[in-house]
Amino acid sequence: MRALKRYDRRGFTLVELMIVVAIIGVLAALAIFGVRRYLASAKSSEAKNTVGAISRSSVSAFERETSASQILAGGDTSTAASHSLCASATAVPGFIPAGRKYQPNTGADQDFEHGTETEGWPCLRFTMTQPIYFQYHYLLGGRVPQQTDAPAVAGTYFEAGAVGDLDADSSVYSVFTRAGQVDTNGQLVVATQVHVEREYE
CA dist., res. 105 & res. 92, Å (int):
10
- Neighbour tally for 56: CB within 10 Å: 15
Q: Around 65, how many Cα atoms within 13 Å sit in the side-chain half-sphere?
A: 5
Closest CA to 63 of 196, 170, 198, 180: 180
Model pTM?
A: 0.73
Element (H, E) at 161: strand 157-164
pLDDT of 180 above 80: yes
Residues 6 or more apart in contact with residue 49 via CB below 8 angstroms: none
Using one digit for the tens of pLDDT, what is the confidence trace for 123-154? Answer: 999 999 999 999 999 988 855 444 555 554 44
Identify the pLDDT of residue 130. Answer: 92
pLDDT of 40 above 80: no
Identify the pLDDT of residue 154. Answer: 45
Most confident of the following: 8-12, 37-41, 171-175: 171-175
Lowest mean per-residue pLDDT among 118-122, 148-152, 188-192: 148-152
Identify the pLDDT of residue 70. Answer: 64
pLDDT of 65 above 50: yes
Using one digit for the tens of pLDDT, what is the confidence trace for 81-104? Answer: 677 888 888 899 988 888 889 999
